[in-house]
Chains A and B, each alone.
Chain A
């Protein structure tokens, strides 16, 4: 079935829309000053396991890189020197994500994957400058393989985003949606609904069922159009309610892969003109299979750690757990000189920007990384050798805060690893609180 010939128009349209979206995204970064906020101002960056060597470039180069990203994105959209520009975009965008774990977002990760898939695909073989200028031979058809690959990727996002909501906090206690909606009761038109006590639970279930079922409705020709309308409404609503940036735009354009492959054409594609099949090389199939296995395995890896992933967060990233928890914490490190016994309480704010500190307060592996940095800093300033412990009081989905890390453990001697972190304290067992939404005024009833 992967070799069946299908119209290439869907892939060309996807390339154009993706390129334009990414160009807009890069320009947003420039316009909002986020390059300085995320990459230049911090004096310390949280590293991905195995990518500790990735460092930010000089400030001027970082700014130039974002302009280059915008230009590369436009080249992708135009299909201009596509193989080179799409590959460079993928490498540059991935490099940016690897600089600091505190900047991780699911939709940036999705953008990396889609850029990779595009870069290796024949997306420039139609409606592109490359084909117009004769740099590549134009194609009208390509094997079903590419369509299946993109559909698989989009399906993975929705499915695992739905499965991530399959927990009692979300489905039984309507948290964290209850917390979020309670602060949005003055939203035009919808605010009074959010103030109703039943609204969080209904919307929690609606979100769960939407994520889990939408791709199946998109796959059926009978339900596709209403499903896509619902998808647009869903993502527009989430954009109105939450600061999720480009995520809705990326998902709305990505879901187009479930339409017939000739959807961008004014006239219906005629299958009779297409070849019966187009072969797909075995190495490509093997690579796609490996890719698919990884994409399924990564979101499932949290089962290896057990307990509540929203608490320990081992297996949280790269798993499409989009907006499933509300977590805040108060973190204080206690650094003890082994020789003198003197103890210094250390605030993370001394080392981190506000946004890094917020991410730290919910993610134990970042707490460990900063502990190592504090250890090194103290020893560099002749205050060592030291032990580093942490008091991390964290509230999950509105529960009373409790210690997230065993305060007796010396984090200075622990090594970061992908094995189960026994230094993380057990998750809270009780249900999150039932919070009552507050109306703006009594006359709003």
Chain B
């Protein structure tokens, strides 16, 4: 009896010795400086992740499923407006509004929006907006060939469809093209043969075809999620309890976590780092790497991305009300982390909202301001990568299923 008694005593000792988390300190690397508290005193503490309703993963999954359907319904409304719009000014305004909804929806790339290789994926996102896969030359070749007017257009090359191609068609008014001399449109002179009126008419027709195609995919997304139709809503909200797409709630939540890592890549590493010359840039700065080349809407896209993140992380309401990942953090006992992440998110949103002038101009005239935005986003992604995935035991995106020990 002695051994079991000793083990029991040890267990009791262990339980009684469990400590409360003391104030953590950060190593500053400066020998003379005192350790700095992890929680930056300059960032206000917010009521984050402290919902009074008891949190469950099912509630979170259902809230995100509701939010996703709401997001796609708003997108469908915007793409309907775009498809019906006539006249340059109205089409351009409708494009900006549709793009805001698309860029918010970038953070919802799971289920039917995801690629067909992903669980439940139907590839709708790439059909709506294939950036960074957009080829101006391919668009111009298809414009001359009139591909947009053929029944095969919805199955044609993805880098010449979607709202990325649409942007070029409705915002770029130049008469040049981006193809080399070897391209058929230049070698045979078919591009040069187009009069300015013919070019404008073809662009308008092409843009209208894209708008119809985009709207059909937005409708398909709504149908896929709608409880009265495809009911993917149920697949997500019952993950681990009847869902045929996700065998466990954690796997489904991991798919959502992968989707919100959009703010790391491409938002930080592609949309901001490349123009700043941090990667794949031969010069000090690469303004041509900005997302919106013709409408100068790159900053608006970033703002929408951050709003999309907020809708999943904080909650789907206008100012983050509702159940989100912050409530999950709060429920597991990591309320402080939830507050730090919310603060970092609000700093990033405020930095983007207060940004002046357009980011394409600011990169040249006020590079420091772009750096400030980059660092604000990095502050959020650091917490996401190091802290949130640890506490919630989420896998990082693109980690292949491999052995461990």
Are A and B a genuine interacting pair, yes or no?
yes
Name A residues whose Cβ lies closer than 8 Å to a Cβ of B. Answer: 32, 34, 37, 105-107, 171-173, 179-180, 182-187, 198, 201-202, 205, 209, 242-247, 322-323, 326-330, 332, 344-347, 349-350, 354-355, 357-358, 361, 393-395, 397-403, 406-409, 425-426, 428-442
A426 CA / B7 CA spacing, docked (Å): 33
Q: What is the total number of residues of chain B having a CB less than 8 Å from a CB of chain A?
A: 68
Q: Which residue of B lies closest to A180 (CB)?
A: B393
Name B residues whose Cβ lies closer than 8 Å to a Cβ of A. Answer: 7, 10-11, 14-15, 17-30, 38, 54-59, 240-241, 248-250, 265, 269, 273, 277-279, 328, 331-334, 336-337, 378, 381-387, 389-394, 396-405
A361 CA / B390 CA spacing, docked (Å): 12
Q: Which residue of A lies closest to B375 (CB)?
A: A345
Let me know if B21 and A408 touch, CB within 8 A. no
- Secondary structure call for the B interface: loop
A418 CA / B4 CA spacing, docked (Å): 42
Q: Which residue of B lies closest to A428 (CB)?
A: B24
A298 CA / B10 CA spacing, docked (Å): 29
When A243-B404, A344-B278 are in contact, do A402 and B11 touch as well, CB less than 8 Å? no
Cross-chain contact of B396 among A172, A358, A431 (Cβ < 8 A) = A358
Residues of B within 8 A of A408 (CB): 29-30
Let me know if B393 and A182 touch, CB within 8 A. yes
Given A332-B382, A440-B56, 20 other A-B residues pairs in contact with their CB atoms under 8 A: A180-B393, A205-B10, A209-B7, A245-B405, A330-B383, A345-B378, A347-B273, A354-B397, A393-B386, A395-B390, A399-B24, A402-B38, A408-B30, A430-B22, A431-B18, A432-B21, A434-B20, A436-B331, A438-B57, A440-B249
When A183-B392, A245-B405, A400-B387 are in contact, do A393 and B21 touch as well, CB less than 8 Å? no
Cross-chain contact of A398 among B391, B396, B399 (Cβ < 8 A) = B391
A406 CA / B334 CA spacing, docked (Å): 26
Let me know if A322 and B18 touch, CB within 8 A. no
Residues of B within 8 A of A395 (CB): 386-387, 390-391
- Secondary structure call for the A interface: loop
Let me know if A401 and B333 touch, CB within 8 A. no
A65 CA / B391 CA spacing, docked (Å): 40
Q: Which residue of B lies closest to A25 (CB)?
A: B403
Residues of B within 8 A of A357 (CB): 396
When A182-B393, A186-B250 are in contact, do A172 and B17 touch as well, CB less than 8 Å? yes
When A243-B401, A244-B404, A354-B398 are in contact, do A183 and B334 touch as well, CB less than 8 Å? no
Most buried by A among B28, B331, B337, B400: B400
- Number of residue pairs A-B, CB distance < 8 angstroms: 208
Let me know if B26 and A246 touch, CB within 8 A. no
Let me know if B27 and A426 touch, CB within 8 A. yes
Let me know if A37 and B400 touch, CB within 8 A. yes
Most buried by A among B26, B38, B331, B405: B405
Q: Which residue of A lies closest to B56 (CB)?
A: A441
When A172-B14, A402-B27, A441-B57 are in contact, do A183 and B393 touch as well, CB less than 8 Å? yes
Residues of B within 8 A of A173 (CB): 18-19
CB of B394 to closest CB in A, whole Å:
8
Most buried by B among A329, A435, A440: A440
Let me know if A186 and B248 touch, CB within 8 A. yes
Cross-chain contact of A201 among B14, B38, B337 (Cβ < 8 A) = B14
Cross-chain contact of B405 among A34, A323, A437 (Cβ < 8 A) = A323
When A354-B399, A401-B382 are in contact, do A326 and B390 touch as well, CB less than 8 Å? yes
